[in-house]
Chain A
Amino acid sequence: METIKIISSYALPAIILIILCIGLYKEVKVYDIFVESAKEGITTVIKIMPSLVGLMVAIGVFRASGALDLLIFALRPVTDFLGIPKEAVPLAMMRPISGSASLALISDIMKVHGPDSFVGRVVSTMMGSTETTFYTLALYFGAAGIKKIRYALAAAMIADFSSILASVWICTLVFGRS
């Protein structure tokens, strides 16, 4: 499992180096293009700001009132059985529906438990390895005019579910459960 830690440490620097070297080799004005493209990052963040405010307020209310604890408590038997940390359950429920709500949720979870806690690492891994399945399905099939989706949703949900279990499993192996 040391290998996965090493991969995590070297992945970003290696990718940055490869991108820059290939860029220079292909005679791309690397710095100019970087600055030009980085603007898009600002637009992306500005665009999600209003939804992040709305959703984080809703999550904040839900947690501060004790409603979140009730929900987690109710789902306790299922999560204990599957070995999923109970704090990660709301994310597992929200992830297929909304990307910005999931983003708000993981921010909230990591704010409370810390990004370097076991729960923090599990929700980070879950967030990075799944997609907004319902939204994507509705968008893509809707655009093509598909009404009978047959087994598509079932297969996508199986994949999502396996990625939740895989996240818990790999984080336990790599970081240890603490």
Chain B
Amino acid sequence: MVSILSNPLATPSQLLANQTEADGVPSSLSKSLLWAGSTLIQSAGILLRLPQTTIATAIVLLQRFYLVRSLRSSPLLDSVHAAVFLSSKLTEHPVKPRSLINVTTYLQHCPSPSPISPVSDNEQALQDPDSYFVSEHEYYAQRTRMLDTEAEMLKAFGFQSWCALPYTLVLNYAQALDCLDESLVRRAIAYLNDALMAPSLVFLTHQPHMLAVAALYLAARSEGESGGGSAKLPEGWWEVFDVEREELGFLVAVFEGAAKFVEEQTGRWKRRGGKGVPWDLEALEEELQFHG
């Protein structure tokens, strides 16, 4: 029985036994790679015109997957593909494997504001469509790996593919608090999208209602600061939604920290010049050797 409003959460032991780190990948690198994967999903999802629920589900699936699998055994790019593919099916917006692979290849080779592209400074690449052309051979190879990873994912989840998201709850809670206001909700949803990228994996450790409350809290606060004239929320309102002060405090810290983390990571990969995120195993091994 799955509740519509709650998720299966990561257990402390799962969080402690990080498979990737057990495999000798430094913690900072593994966090960074997971973030890069999430960013790639987010960007690809936008290009594929997927709704944010599909994108967010894909990111959560990717994070869940790497909770129990290692980056050194499951290549990041294939997992990204599989996560998007699976989530697109789960949320009834199926994408074609070909479109998906085209889009991620394009994103890896084209300058973009996000640092996932290794040649961001190279204007030549933009002119040259060949750089992101996926040959039939390459497509088949990637698709096979994607589908293998998809099956791996389903098995890793025990087919527990349900993923409850906090987006609609934000609307609900704002309505309940009588502060339903477009800019407020927009901001809250933006905070939630930030949190998807946070290294603390709050979507795996906290139920959607907590995330919704934290996002709403932050949104209301920043709206108030910016003088947006939003309604004053009653004292201790989060308790009505079953969130304790400490939890809220933690989540707020995570949500706020997400921006900083993303900036750090952007810088980290930007500085690399021509070298990009190690999407496949080979590149990852190289990266690991490079760092000793």
Partners in one complex: no
